[in-house]
Structure 1
Amino acid sequence: MKSVFALFIALSAFQPAFATTADEVKQKTSDAATSAANYSKEQKDAFQKEMETKLAEMKKETAELKKAAADKTGEAKKEMNEQIAALEKKQESMSQDLSKLKKSSGKAWNHMKDGMSKAWDSISDSYAKAKAEYAEQK
């Protein structure tokens, strides 16, 4: 019985720490929502910057492939130019998606992130294929 009484006294000493007003709950909820929004924006900005950097590098490498294709002749030149044209089309689509991403917010950007990641994988595969074929034809 003494231990129950001691527990009761101990808990009553901490009661003010558990007491929360409606205003405190609203403030804590607001603070949490603001923190979550800021974190999401930071993630979006980082993803956007990463994709812009990757795309710029890929465009530079594609320009180099285009110069190399100019030295080719016949069927090899035709195939490389077709692959480069397809790659440039995908890059343009990615640029448009990046523009949309810049304007997106909230949950929409998470959905766009998934789509853009898949699109990037496709572009990367196309570039790797074109580069490999160029290497074989050297």
Structure 2
Amino acid sequence: MLQTIGSYTADKRDEAVQKAKDGLNKLDKRIDVLEARIDKNWDKMKEAARKEARENLKTLRKQRNQVAEWYGSMKTSSADAWDHMKKGFSDAYKALEDAWEKSEKEFRSSK
């Protein structure tokens, strides 16, 4: 998805914004699934794993909010600011995706 967003020019902003929204919705669903799995396994988790899971979810939500802020900026950006907004969104999205993958991996190893 990030490569796709990066290829859009300012005149294709509406298409890029829709792709960004779709990507954000997919990540929201992945975070929700991870949170549900953590909740389901909470009683089986050790205290350290619980603490780690809470911190990871906190980080995911924080980074998700940063992606949403860039998404909002992309929707309203001028043609002159488009490349900056597009890069900011892509960087924030990548950081969120990386954090999600780290959280998922740690959750699997803590069960």
2:69 corresponds to which residue?
Answer: 96
Identify which of 110, 121, 125 aligns with 2:94: 121
Distance 1:40 1:67 in 2: 38
5+ unaligned residues in a row in structure 2: which ranges? 1-8
Which residue of 2 is the match for residue 57 of structure 1?
26
Q: Is the 8 A contact 1:48 1:101 kept in 2?
A: yes
Q: Confirm or deny: 8 A CA contact 1:48 1:98 kept in the other structure.
A: yes
TM-score (normalizing by structure 1): 0.66
1:137, CA displacement in angstroms?
Answer: 2.2
Q: Is the 1:66–1:84 Cα contact (8 Å) retained in structure 2?
A: yes
Distance 1:102 1:90 in 2: 19
| Root mean square deviation, CA, Å | 1.4
d(CA) in 2 for partners of 1:98, 1:50: 10
Give the alignment of 1:1-138 within 5 angstroms. 40-42=10-12, 44-70=13-39, 71-72=41-42, 73=45, 74-138=47-111
- 8 Å CA contact 2:60–2:96 kept in 1: the answer is yes
RCO comparison, higher one (Cα < 8 Å, 6+)? 2
Which contiguous aligned blocks of 4+ residues in structure 1 show a shift greater than 6 angstroms? none
Equivalent pairs, count:
99
With structure 2 as the length reference, what TM-score do the two structures score? 0.81
